[in-house]
Amino acid sequence: MLRFILRRLGFMVLGVILASIIIFWATTVLPGDVATMVLGRYATDQARTQLRHELGLDKPIAVQYTHWLGNYAKGDWGNSPSTDTAVRPLVFERLRNSFRLAVIAFAMYVPLGILLGLVAALRKNTWADNVISVGSLAFIGLPEFVSGVVLITIFAIELHWLPAQSAIDPRSSYAAALPYLILPAITVALTSLAYVVRMTRSSTVDVLQMDYVRTANLKGLAPRRVLFTHVLRNSLLPTITVVAIGIGWLIGGLIVTESVYGYPGIGRLLLFAITHRDLQLIQATALLLVIIYVVANLVADILYAVLNPRIRYT
């Protein structure tokens, strides 16, 4: 088991390094000149050269890259030119906000998705299954900026139940922030919910047809016991993978959703950094998102291995 984890950990580090190269390369080949961006169009050539030298932009790209990655690993993420503050505290403050939103969305869609998926599987080909299956298909196709706007129109503008904007104070408590978080969390959850429902349904339908479920039934176990001891253990395995991969969707969804609601999360920060060509901020944020994504997948792999005895020690 330890070897398995170490191996996966190795792959993870490799993946992060690869991603960091791509991020660094992509940000340095972006059109436009950083010095011009920072100093304005009317700065002298000398001032620009000076700034490039200060930022290390006149060195070979490989040197720039190792320098950047080294500092990143040490926790020195540099200063953001566009906000003129240190990058790290800024990113982490926003990350905390996004994390809050993600946790609430997660707590909504994972249990609900599994529940709906199970109901659909157990009531296969009945009206309940049809409603759930068709409904989840509809939500898969709905982008966040549409569902977000619809939700705002109904619950904020028409019904006045919840605020339309979510520009909260980062230091506010969960309780105080909750009303602001509900609508964006629902928006994020809707898309991922559909994936969890569909995955749970199809894998549960498969497992219900397995011979060992017949064995369990013919042992004379009560249907509830068959479901909990024999079916769920196997049918939720693929769902775990989907949930982990869904974290990638979640991040993508956050960027859009946070913009729709004006929510000060990491997604909006990344968007801000890109529009302001703030390279330090883009690189730091993007790499952090990659690390989060990779770690989520690693956790899913390990969890899968723990729950599925057949792939242990591979």
Partner 1 sequence: MGTPDPYSPPSVAPRPVFEVEGLHIDYATEAGVLHAVRDVSLAVRRHESFGLVGESGSGKSTLAMGAIRYLASNGRVTDGSVRLNGVELLSLAPKELRALWGSRIGVVYQSPLSALNPSIVIGRQLAEVARQHLGMNQSAARERVAEMLTKVAMPDPEAVMKRYPHQLSGGMLQRCVIAMALMTDPSLLVMDEPTTALDVTTQAVVLDLVSELKREFDSAILYITHDLGVITKICDRVGVMYAGEFMEQAPLRELFKAPLHPYTLDLLGCVPHFDPSPQKRSLVTIPGSIPRVDELPPGCIFAPRCTFAEDACRAAPPPLEQRGEDHLSACRRWQIVPPPREHLRAATEALTTAGVAAGDRPTLVEVDDVQVHFKAAHGLLRNRQQRFIRAVDGVSLDVRSGETLGIVGESGSGKTTVARAIIGLTPATGGRISLRGRRLEPSTGRRPRSSLREIQMVFQNPDASLNPTRSVGDAIMRPLTLLSGLSRQAARDKAKALLRAVSLPESYFGRLPHELSGGEKQRVAIARAFAAEPELILCDEPISSLDVSVQGSLMNLLMRLQLEQNTSYVFISHDLSAVQHLSDVIAVVYLGRIMELGDAVRVLTPPFHPYTEALLSAVPLADPDVKQKPIRLSGSVPSAVDVPSGCRFHPRCPRFLGDLCVQHEPPWREGEGDHRISCHIPLHELSRLQAETLVLAAEKGGA
Q: Is 223 exposed, middle or buried (0-12, 13-18, 19+ CB in 10 A)?
A: exposed
- Contact flag: residue 119 with partner 1 (CB under 8 A): no
**Chain residues 195-224 in contact with partner 1, contact rule CB under 8 A:** 210-212, 214-222
Give the nearest distance from C-beta 128 to partner 1 in angstroms. 16
Element (DSSP H or E) covering residue 79: strand 79-80
**Distance (Å, whole) CA 182 – CA 180:** 6
Residues 6-45 that bind partner 1 (CB under 8 A): 7
Cα gap 216→310, rounded to integer Å: 20
Give min distance, CB of 103 to partner 1, in A. Answer: 29
Contact 201, 120 (CB under 8 A): yes
Pick one of 19, 115, 299, 307: the residue that binds partner 1 (CB under 8 A): 307
Q: By C-beta, is 112 or 221 nearer to partner 1?
A: 221
| Amino acid at position 47, single letter | A
DSSP letters, 210-261, are SHHHHHHHHTT--HHHIIIIIIHHHHHHHHHHHHHHHHHHHHHHHHHHHHHH
Nearest approach, Cβ of residue 312 and partner 1 (Å)? 9
Q: Which is nearer to partner 1, 16 or 237 (CB)?
A: 237
The answer to whether residue 171 forms part of the interface with partner 1 (CB under 8 A) is: no
Site residues for partner 1, 221-280, by CB under 8 A, read 221-222, 229-230, 233-234
- Contacting positions for partner 1 (CB under 8 A): 3, 7, 210-212, 214-222, 229-230, 233-234, 307-310
